């Protein structure tokens, strides 16, 4: 494979060329109520060639790996046709590597009947709770084997297996419907799906409990976010603003996201890095052959870095960070997050809560959206805080605000970092890309909470 790809890349007139060949295999199971809703799998083989000439890319995808040289030549011709004002890519050192995959319990070796039986057991655990209206549950696995070569002399073979699982219970009383759920995942370890029977019953019980929960009065509160919701905030509200293609293409963000600008207190540190081992966003090399690393985004409250591809690093005069990722061979790599998290502080979660006289404790998340620096998130679970104590369960609440104001109001960070590996990230039509995010418990002053 290496010799064939190297020959296909030689002798072309381009500033830079890369070639990816991939093997993709997936399987999935989903159930609605007691019945199997969908079960199946897929396999595909394909590749992509990309060439850079005078500031422009040519990109070709294909499903037949014959005549690779002509595929590369087509990408080069496209780049020449689009070339214009120039622009340098950041170069990398040649890499020859075949890092071993992370596989603690390969889900593709787990028998189908065992997978189905496990989901059925989980469904029965949820339905054992009275007042459950319906349930949904599903698991999926994806194997991606990538062969990468470029005109710098690199050849990298990487294999990764992604495991996902989600479960949700819906409870109903008359016309009132409430729901609660979880989403988990792992890098190459089916074991994370097993042994969750008690958690499934807890999901159903929480959905039923929400039928009797009151709504909080909508206004500003001191808010404590658990590690899941804190991680979602780090990813959705701030992480996407750190993706440098978003910055250099947007004049307003250029004015705001200035390196050296203070956005929070000295206790605030936010990082992203695929080199953190064993997480869903982890890998050895990105889809441009750049080694993974851990990048500081905010250090002691100051913006010190952002995420880059070869192209964005060249355009902004900064270093590459190993964040160019493609969902598969059908897409060109773009700047994406990997494992994004707020680093732990020194306080305990109990200390953060004990200092709150009038607040809301928010856990998990249900959905949300961002628009530039504005965000809206729905917490999956919320409780009232009075005089330093967590009290009654509330109906799910919505947190809204400006990310930069919220960072300034984030006045305390606990020491209990935890990572959320459920779900995936979407951008540029590429979804769901495996990522993880996390945080310790964090405290935010004057946070707008939507309620009654």
Residue 28 has what DSSP assignment?
E
Q: Same domain for 364 and 300? A: yes
pLDDT at residue 248, as a whole number: 86
Q: Same domain for 11 and 141? A: yes
Q: Same domain for 10 and 28? A: yes
Q: Same domain for 206 and 244? A: no
pLDDT along the chain (452 residues), means of 10: 95 97 98 97 97 96 94 97 86 96 96 98 97 97 98 98 98 94 96 97 97 96 97 93 91 92 97 96 98 98 98 95 98 98 97 98 88 90 97 95 97 97 92 96 97 74
pLDDT at residue 414, as a whole number: 98
Q: Same domain for 263 and 387? A: yes
Q: Same domain for 152 and 235? A: no
Residue 197: which CATH number? 3.30.2290.10
In angstroms, the CA 64 to CA 191 distance is 35
* Host H or E run for residue 360: strand 358-363
In angstroms, the CA 172 to CA 384 distance is 23
In angstroms, the CA 225 to CA 239 distance is 17
Could you give the dihedral angle defined by the CA atoms of residues 51, 53, 56 and 59, in that order, rounded to the nearest 10 degrees? Answer: -20
> Do the Cβ atoms of 311 and 265 come closer than 8 Å?
no
Pick the last residue of a domain from 180, 210, 240. Answer: 210
pLDDT at residue 383, as a whole number: 98
Q: Same domain for 201 and 236? A: no
What is the DSSP track for 131-162? TEEEEEEEEEEEEEEEEEEETTS-EEEEEEEE
Work out how many domains the chain is built from and give that number.
Answer: 2
pLDDT at residue 83, as a whole number: 87
Q: Same domain for 182 and 238? A: no
Pick the last residue of a domain from 167, 193, 210. Answer: 210
Q: Same domain for 165 and 38? A: yes
pLDDT at residue 89, as a whole number: 92
Supply 204's token pair: 């159903």
pLDDT at residue 12, as a whole number: 97
Pick the last residue of a domain from 168, 189, 210. Answer: 210
> Do the Cβ atoms of 118 and 124 come closer than 8 Å?
no
Q: Same domain for 100 and 244? A: no
Q: Same domain for 201 and 303? A: no
b/e map of 99-127 (b: 16 or more CB within 10 Å)?
eebbbebebeebeeeebeebbeebbebbb
Residue numbers of the domain that contains 424:
219-450
Identify the three-state secondary structure at position 163. Answer: strand
Q: Same domain for 145 and 272? A: no
Question: Whose CA is closest to 403, among 222, 233, 232?
Answer: 233
Q: Is the whole model's pTM more than 0.75, yes or no?
A: yes
Q: Is 267 left (phi over 0), alpha (psi -120 to 50) or beta?
A: alpha
Supply 100's token pair: 């071993």
Identify the three-state secondary structure at position 233. Answer: helix
């Amino acid at each position: 494979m290496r010799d064939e790809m190297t020959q296909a890349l030689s002798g072309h007139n381009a500033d830079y060329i890369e070639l990816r060949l991939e093997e993709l295999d997936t399987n999935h199971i989903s159930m609605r109520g007691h019945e199997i809703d969908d079960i199946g799998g897929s396999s595909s083989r394909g590749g992509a060639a990309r060439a850079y000439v005078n500031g422009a890319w040519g990109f070709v995808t294909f499903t037949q790996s014959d005549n690779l040289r002509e595929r590369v030549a087509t990408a080069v011709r496209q780049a020449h046709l689009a070339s214009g004002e120039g622009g340098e890519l950041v170069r990398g050192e040649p890499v020859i590597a075949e890092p071993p995959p992370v596989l603690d319990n390969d889900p593709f070796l787990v028998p189908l009947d065992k997978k189905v039986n496990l989901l059925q057991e989980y469904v029965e655990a949820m339905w054992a709770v009275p007042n459950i209206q319906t349930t949904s549950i599903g698991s999926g696995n994806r194997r991606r084997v990538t062969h990468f070569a470029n005109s710098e002399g690199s050849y990298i073979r990487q294999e990764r297996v992604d495991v996902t699982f989600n479960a949700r219970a819906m409870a109903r009383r008359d016309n009132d419907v409430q729901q609660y759920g979880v989403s988990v995942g792992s890098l190459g370890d089916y074991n994370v799906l097993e042994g969750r029977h008690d958690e499934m019953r807890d999901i159903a019980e929480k959905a039923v409990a929400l039928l009797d929960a009151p709504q909080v009065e909508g206004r500003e509160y001191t808010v404590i976010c658990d590690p899941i919701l804190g991680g979602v905030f780090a990813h959705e509200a701030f992480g996407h603003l750190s993706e440098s293609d978003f910055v250099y293409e947007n004049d307003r963000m250029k004015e705001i996201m200035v390196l050296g600008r203070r956005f929070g207190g000295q206790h605030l540190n936010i990082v992203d890095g695929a080199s953190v081992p064993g997480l869903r966003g982890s890998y050895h090399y990105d889809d441009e052959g750049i080694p993974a690393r851990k990048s500081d985004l905010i250090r002691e409250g100051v913006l010190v870095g952002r995420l880059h591809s070869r192209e964005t690093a060249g355009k902004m005069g900064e270093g590459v960070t190993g964040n160019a990722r493609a969902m598969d061979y059908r897409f060109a790599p773009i700047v994406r997050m990997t494992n994004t998290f707020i680093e732990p502080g020194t306080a305990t979660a109990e200390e953060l809560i004990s200092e709150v006289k009038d607040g809301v404790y928010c856990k998990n998340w249900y959905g949300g959206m961002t628009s530039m620096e504005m965000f809206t998130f729905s917490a999956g679970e919320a409780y009232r805080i009075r005089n330093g104590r967590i009290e009654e369960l509330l109906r799910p609440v919505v947190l809204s605000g400006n990310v930069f104001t919220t960072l300034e109001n984030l006045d305390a960070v606990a020491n209990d970092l935890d990572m959320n590996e459920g779900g995936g990230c979407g951008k540029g039509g590429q979804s769901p890309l495996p990522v993880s995010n996390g945080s310790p418990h964090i405290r935010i002053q004057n946070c707008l909470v939507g309620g009654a």
